[in-house]
Amino acid sequence: MPELPEVEMVRRSLRRFRLRAPVTRVWRSRLALRTGEAWSRSKERVQRLKGWRPGEVDRRGKYLMMRFHREEMAESCLLLHLGMSGHVEVCHANEALEDHTHLRIFFDDDRELRFVDPRRFGGVRFDARGRIEGSHPISSLGPEPLDRGFTGLLLAAQAKGSRRVIRDVLLDQRVVAGLGNIYVLEALYEAGIHPATKASRLRASAWERIATASTGALRRGIENKGTTLQDYRDASGATGTHQHALRVYGRGGDACDRCGATLDAWMMGNRTAVRCPAEQPVVRGRWVS
């Protein structure tokens, strides 16, 4: 699933296209996309895009938020969630259509925005910007880890003394927005914290290392234009290179870059976890500083 760096690269690529022409028509496939109350078909409202003019493209956590304007009307927003396998692309209207295309937004300059999602875990919604920002899922998101005020103190406060393991706490979008399994494991390696450490056993210094390492892992992902393992690419079709710079994720059985120890990999819940046994030792029954 695209995480914060990948969604940020999609945002930047969409901005470069400078879409400004008004929407002339919208096509939506008959197939359902993301499930859940926030993503019901009745809430998509994408047909209402006709006549609206696109503006800036924002990001909140793993979500794209495209602003739209119309005379004498409140600013609106198209909310896009890429799911497990989704991507957006900007192309000319006469270009060949990819399989699994579920949304086409046609503009008055003969270009269109397409949303393609083979597994259909992504979602789309169009509404007034205030309603999008004031409702789930956007209103439920935790702080942005790339914001200036993101610290260990803030992260610990968001965790609220949780007894869950730190890997799962960091994956909770209500605690911090945008982190997924790839960048959580990378951050915990940098911080020297075992992924299965109980969050309630972490001292302030450990929280600060985790916050700093999370920000660093995300920034490296952005510098390398995202992690392409299977489906990810930006709106111009470019793939990322960060998969070649990962230090633990997907590298179970390899040697640790720092100490040479063999990296452990195991299943935590329904996701893979990886750690270095020397750099991230098991801690039982004591506080982690």
What pLDDT, in 10s, does the model give residues 160-175?
Answer: 999 999 999 999 999 9
What pLDDT score does 289 carry?
A: 81
Residue 252 to residue 238: CA distance in whole angstroms: 28
Catalytic residue among 11, 62, 104, 120: 62
Mean residue pLDDT across the chain: 96
3 is catalytic: yes
Mean pLDDT value across residues 11-33: 97
Global pTM? Answer: 0.96
Write down the architecture of domain 152-275 according to CATH.
Answer: Orthogonal Bundle (1.10)
What one-letter code names the amino acid at 163? R
Structure tokens at 235: 């709106």
Confidence of residue 283 (pLDDT cuts 50, 70, 90): confident
Q: Residue 285: pLDDT above 90? A: no
What pLDDT score does 16 carry?
A: 97
Residue 85 to residue 65: CA distance in whole angstroms: 18
Find all residues with CB under 8 Å of 87, minimum gap 6, and list them.
10, 115, 116, 117, 231, 232, 233, 234, 235
Q: Kindly report, residue by residue over 195-252, the tens digit of the pLDDT.
A: 999 999 999 999 999 999 999 999 999 999 999 998 899 999 999 999 999 999 999 9
- Beta carbons of 275 and 282 less than 8 angstroms apart: no
Domains in the chain: boundaries:
4-140, 152-275
- Beta carbons of 2 and 82 less than 8 angstroms apart: yes
What pLDDT score does 223 carry?
A: 98
* Half-sphere exposure for 255 (CA within 13 Å, toward CB): 4
50 is catalytic: no
What pLDDT score does 118 carry?
A: 95
Q: How many helices (H) and strands (E) does the chain have?
A: 7, 10
Catalytic residue among 75, 201, 271, 277: 271
Structure tokens at 133: 């920002």
Q: Residue 36: pLDDT above 90? A: no
Residue 47: exposed, middle, or buried by beta-carbon count in 10 A (0-12, 13-18, 19+)?
exposed
CATH number for region 4-140: 3.20.190.10
CA distances from 162 to 40, 175, 208, 212, 246 (A): 31, 10, 16, 20, 28
Q: Kindly report, residue by residue over 238-282, the tens digit of the pLDDT.
A: 999 999 999 999 999 999 999 999 999 999 989 999 999 999 999
CA dihedral 100, 82, 121, 28 (to 10 degrees): -50
277 is catalytic: no
- Are both 4-140 and 152-275 of the same fold? no
What pLDDT score does 106 carry?
A: 98
CA distances from 227 to 5, 15, 137, 239 (A): 8, 20, 24, 8
Confidence of residue 37 (pLDDT cuts 50, 70, 90): confident
Residue 12 to residue 6: CA distance in whole angstroms: 10
271 is catalytic: yes
Q: Enumerate the β-bridge partners of residue 272.
A: 267
* Half-sphere exposure for 192 (CA within 13 Å, toward CB): 10
- Beta carbons of 172 and 181 less than 8 angstroms apart: no
